[in-house]
Homo-oligomer: A and B are copies of this chain.
Amino acid sequence: MGKKKHHSITPLSQLLRVPAGPVSLARYDSKATPGYPGKGRDDADKFTTAILPELSDLQERLYASSQTDPANAPRILIVLQGMDTSGKGGVIRHSIGLVDPQGVQIKAFKVPTAEERAHDYLWRIRNALPAPGKIGIFDRSHYEDVLVVRVDGLFPESVWSKRYGEINDFEAELVASGTRLIKCMLNVSYEEQRERLLARLDDPTKHWKFSASDLDSRAKWPDYMEAYEAALTLCNTEVAPWHIIPADHKWYRNWAVTELLREVLEGLDLQWPVADYDVAEQRRRLAALD
């Protein structure tokens, strides 16, 4: 499949990938639209829809590989992190919602349950890893264990400071065993978050999306940015790099994650499985059953 005009010319993964070294989020424009091939909001539906036929074809090849050779079928895992209202749910609805739901495995990580707390923090993560041929999506992830845990001091620094290395080891293991990781930090600005929280308070059909704890987190914004910068700096490895997705424009955010997924699927060079039966013989059998 050659480059089409609705794709980014430079691979988007390259444009959004966080360079090695210390990350300063203040230097990332959350209103930017890197790689976007169109003009803006008005043509975003068109450009996102244009990815769809190729995305569907690639996803079906991935799924097919798991039906015929599960032991060797690749897996994809999209990790979505971001502050409240950054659009983790929106991405799942609008980007992941474009592909066949049979090939998708979504897991939202909430405050750990009593059972989850009785285990190592990676236990519930391992339990939710995507099956062969599946596109897994984590709505929040093990990164909460170096984000909210660090900001709220749920564990002492001696505990969470070791986790960056543990997470790198864990992710390297995942990649080595055939999972392609797509780590996305949805970067929403403080100002845009205010507008989105206000919209939830102003609209009774959105009241259920708001929680008083959202404002508790907002009050700790600088601490969260520092914790994100640490995770983006310390867990940005060659095999499992971070992408920062400018997320003030929902249309860009949704297009970008869709296109990132397409690029990764394309890179797998997935072939249709070859029949493990004699096609001519089966055709004769079918004819005999007329």
Contacts and interface: CB of A to CB of B under 8 A. Distances in A.
A14 interface: no
A97 interface: yes
A16 interface: no
Given A67-B208, A272-B205, A215 B289 contact: yes
Contacts of A26: none
Given A208-B64, A215-B286, A101 B101 contact: yes
A218 interface: yes
A225 to B, nearest CB: 15
A285 interface: yes
Contacts of A165: none
Interface of A is mostly: helix
Interface string A185-209: 0000000001001100100110111
Interface stretch (A115-123, A150-158, A168-176, A274-282): A274-282
A273 B208 contact: yes
B102 A215 contact: no
A260 interface: no
A130 to B, nearest CB: 13
Contacts of A93: 100-102
Contact of A279 (B201, B209, B277, B289): B201
Query: Top 5 A-B pairs ranked by shortest CB distance?
Result: A207-B275, A208-B273, A64-B208, A93-B100, A205-B272
Interface of A: 64, 67-68, 89, 92-93, 96-97, 100-102, 104, 106, 108, 139, 194, 197-198, 201, 204-205, 207-212, 215, 218-219, 272-275, 277, 279, 282-283, 285-286, 289-290
25 contacts: A67-B208, A92-B102, A93-B100, A96-B101, A97-B97, A101-B101, A194-B289, A197-B286, A198-B286, A201-B279, A201-B282, A201-B283, A201-B286, A204-B275, A207-B274, A207-B275, A208-B275, A210-B277, A210-B282, A211-B277, A212-B277, A215-B286, A215-B289, A218-B286, A219-B289
Given A102-B108, A198-B283, A212-B277, 14 more contacts: A64-B209, A97-B97, A102-B106, A197-B286, A198-B286, A201-B283, A204-B272, A207-B272, A208-B272, A208-B275, A210-B275, A215-B286, A215-B289, A219-B289
